[in-house]
Structure 1
Amino acid sequence: MAFRSVFDGGALRTEFESAGISPHFVPLIWKYVLHNPGCDLSDVPSLPSAAYPLLSSKFRPLTSFRSSALDSNDRLTTKLLIRLQNGNSVEAVIMRYDTRHGKYDGKPRSGGPRSTLCVSSQVGCKMGCKFCATGTMGFKNNLSSGEIVEQLVHASRITHIRNVVFMGMGEPLNNYAALVEAIQIMTGFPFQLSPKKITVSTVGIIHAINKLPIDLPTVNLAVSLHAPDQDIRCQIMPAARAFPLGKLMDALQTYQMNTQQKVFVEYIMLDGVNDHEQHAHQLGKLLVTLKVVSLSSKYIVCCPLLKLINFLWSFNEKYLFV
Structure 2
Amino acid sequence: MELLWAVIMRYDTRLGKYGGKPRPGGLRATLCISSQVGCKMGCKFCATGSMGFKSNLSSGEIVEQLVHASTFAQIRNVVFMEVGEPLNNYSAVVESIRIMTGSPFQLSLKRITVSMVGIIHSINKLHNDVPGLNLAVSLHAPAQDLCCQIMPAARAFPLEKLMDSLQEYQRKRKLLETFEVVVNLIPFNSIGTLSQFKSTSEQKVSKFQKILRGAYKIRTTVRKQMGEDISGPCGQLEVNLPDKSLGNANPLTDIEDLVI
Q: Among 125, 147, 158, which residue is 1:233 paired with?
A: 147
Task: Map 1:15-164 onto structure 2 (within 5 A).
Answer: 85=1, 88-104=2-18, 107-164=21-78
SS at match of 1:164: strand
Cα distance per residue 1:211-259 (max 9 Å; x no partner): 1111122121000111110111111211111001110111111111111
Match of 2:219 in 1: 319
Q: Name the CA shift for 1:130/1:219 in 2 (closer, same or farther; >3 Å).
A: same
| Structure 1: distance between partners of 2:38 and 2:144 | 24
Matched, 1:178 2:92: yes
Cα displacement (A) at 1:302: 4.5
Q: CA deviation at 1:106?
A: 5.3
Matched, 1:209 2:88: no
**Which runs of 5 or more residues in structure 1 are unaligned?**
1-84, 262-288
Cα distance change on mapping 1:107 and 1:226 into 2, 3 Å: farther
Matched residue type, 2:98: Q
Query: Counterpart of 2:179?
Result: 290
Q: With structure 2 as the length reference, what TM-score do the two structures score?
A: 0.76
Distance in 2 between the 1:319 and 1:302 partners? 20
Q: Which amino acid counterpart does residue 215 of structure 1 have in structure 2?
A: D
Identity %: 66
Give the number of aligned pairs.
Answer: 209
Q: 1:193 and 1:91 mapped to 2: Cα distance?
A: 21
CA contact (8 A) 1:165 1:201 kept: yes
Please name the residue that 2:192 is paired with.
none
Please say if residues 105 and 320 of structure 1, whose CA atoms lie closer than 8 Å, have aligned partners that are also in contact. no
Q: Distance in 2 between matches of 1:215 and 1:107?
A: 38
- TM-score normalised according to structure 1 size: 0.62
Secondary structure in 1 matching 2:102? coil
Q: Partners in 1 of 2:18 and 2:93 — Cα distance?
A: 29
> What residue is the counterpart of 1:309 in the other structure?
209
| Per-residue CA distance 1:27-66 (angstroms, 9 max, x = gap) | xxxxxxxxxxxxxxxxxxxxxxxxxxxxxxxxxxxxxxxx
Change (3 A) 1:301 1:116: closer
Query: d(CA) in 2 for partners of 1:105 and 1:175?
Result: 38
CA gap 1:108/1:220 in 2 versus in 1, 3 angstroms: farther
Structure 2 vs 1, CA of residues 305 and 146 (structure 1 numbering), >3 Å: closer, same or farther? same
Letter in 2 for 1:321: T
| 1:191 matched residue in structure 2 | 105
Per residue, is there more strand in 1 or in 2? 1
Counterparts of 1:106 and 1:234, CA distance in 2: 39
CA distance in 1, matches of 2:109, 2:20: 24
**Cα distance change on mapping 1:105 and 1:135 into 2, 3 Å:** farther
Question: What is the one-letter code of the residue matched to 1:228?
Answer: P
Kindly indicate whether residue 141 of structure 2 is the aligned counterpart of residue 249 of structure 1. no
Counterparts of 1:119 and 1:91 in 2: how far apart (Å)? 7
**Structure 2 unaligned spans of 5+:** 189-197, 223-260
Shift of 1:156: 0.8
Q: More relative contact order in 1 or in 2 (CA 8 Å, sep 6+)?
A: 2
C-alpha distance in structure 1 between counterparts of 2:107 and 2:183, whole Å: 24
Larger radius of gyration: 1
Partners of 2:185 and 2:220 within 8 A in 1 = no
One-letter identity of the residue aligned with 1:306: S
